[in-house]
Amino acid sequence: MMAACFACGESREVVLFEKQKKLGRKILVTGNGRCNISNRFIDPVRYHGKNPLFVNNVFARFSPDDTEKFFLSIGIPFREGKDGKLYPASLQASAVVSALEYEVHRRGADVRLHRRIDRIEQKGAKFLLVTAGKEESVFDAVILAAGSCAYSPVGASKIGYALAESLQHRVVPCFPAILPLNILEKNIRRLQGMKWDCGVAVVHNGAVVARSEGELLFTGYGLSGPAALEVSRAANELVLRGEVPDITVDFYPEQSEDDLSATIEGLLSDGGKTLAFALSGIMNERLPRVLGEFAGVDMEKKASRVSRAEKKALVKVLKHLTLTSGGPRDFSEAVIAAGGVDVSEINPATMESKKVKNLYITGELLDIDGDSGGFNLQFAWSTGALAGMAQH
């Protein structure tokens, strides 16, 4: 939609092919239905891929400020949330889709719904597009803006990658990113449904490779919630390389080990209480027994009989519970996909292919993926706009 908006003008015929019944289904589910349009703190360090610095050239030509001005011009002012996240002031993703759809039509694009492009062929200097229904159309230029294969419930698929490969482009193998984590330790599943603000880290060969802090949701298969999603890319990338990273959980990130030890010491001052009961004032009722298993401490033991070594083991588990990452969950649960078309084959100023003249590739089809929090949508808006503007 962004590419179509910016491509229109000067009596140019712009056709937007959409395989689904309506435009923008994936936008509707972003930001939990509120559409996290962008982020105030856009920075290359928040992007990943073989060449994440590619984003510098993109944002230098269509910046987050340009994005904000564009959306304001079509009736969508921004509201800033936590961590610099930018939302539509209405907090409704549907308002963003409606405004974009209106603008696409207002600018004169021909929107053809239920038209999946199955094949693109070069015919001299032109392109022949063939739909699943065998309709054929010829164009001077093509912009691939099909999105990634992440989150198939709203229609995502691998068709965009296949079309890019058919037009001489190399696709870096994709894997799911920003999604819940499978955990191999089964006893953690007894915490299913519990939410807790935690620090979460991915540790490989003794080094922290990703870290986050926020709400963690314990599930029947492992970990979910924002804190888990933010580190999932790093964990999945290692697992798919044949490595086995550790996932460490800090249940009290706001306290040091010494402070937590002092807190627990105070709670155990009544020696007649069981250890589990004594700790019930600072943690969910299911947590002590599960963590006691990891620490090797009997939580039914009277507080007066808990040894110094046992207290130390318990604090270590509360601050550094170490779990084992399992294989990645399916693309159907992923917010985004890592991998995609090699950006060394794309001109970042225009998004034009360096291999095929007048072919443009944008957004999540490229081997660029951002952190959660509006970074991926910002990349989509910017690359779509640049590809559209390049048609003038």
Residue 93's pLDDT is: 98
Residue 11's pLDDT is: 87
Q: What is the mean pLDDT of the chain?
A: 96
If you write DSSP's letter for every residue of 264-297 in order, what string do you get?
HHHHTTSTTSBHHHHGGGTS-TTHHHHHHHHHT-
- Mean pLDDT along residues 82-103: 97
What's at 34, amino acid-wise? R
Nearest of 162, 130, 122, 131 to residue 144 by alpha carbon: 162
pTM for the full predicted model: 0.93
- Mean pLDDT along residues 13-20: 98
Query: Would you state the CATH architecture of domain 2-175+332-389?
Result: 3-Layer(bba) Sandwich (3.50)
In whole angstroms, what is the distance from residue 144 CA to residue 180 CA? 29
Residues 115-165 pLDDT 10s: 999 999 999 999 999 999 999 999 999 999 999 999 999 999 999 999 999
Domain residue ranges of the chain, discontinuous segments joined by +: 2-175+332-389, 180-328
- Mean pLDDT along residues 320-348: 97
Q: Please, which residues bridge with residue 198 across strands?
A: 214
Residues 281-310 pLDDT 10s: 999 999 999 999 999 999 999 999 999 999
Residues 44-80 pLDDT 10s: 999 999 999 999 999 999 999 999 999 999 999 999 9
What's at 253, amino acid-wise? P
Residue 339's pLDDT is: 98
Task: Give how far Cα 146 sits from Cα of 34, 49, 109, 364, 383, Å.
Answer: 22, 19, 17, 8, 12
Q: Environment class of residue 180 by beta-carbon count within 10 Å: exposed (0-12), middle (13-18) or buried (19+)?
A: buried
Residues 181-193 pLDDT 10s: 999 999 999 999 9
Percent of the chain with pLDDT over 90: 98
Residue 294's pLDDT is: 96
Residue 10's pLDDT is: 87
Residues 222-246 pLDDT 10s: 999 999 999 999 999 999 999 999 9
How many other C-beta atoms can be found within 10 angstroms of the C-beta atom of residue 342? Answer: 17
Q: Where are the alpha helices (H) located in the chain, listed in sequence order?
A: 2-7, 25-28, 54-61, 64-73, 93-106, 159-166, 226-240, 257-267, 275-278, 287-295, 308-320, 375-389
Q: Where are the alpha helices (H) located in 86-141, listed in sequence order?
A: 93-106
In whole angstroms, what is the distance from residue 233 CA to residue 178 CA? 6
Residue 69's pLDDT is: 98
Give, rounded to a whole angstrom, the gap between the first and last alpha carbons of the chain. 17
Looking at residue 191, what DSSP letter applies?
A: G
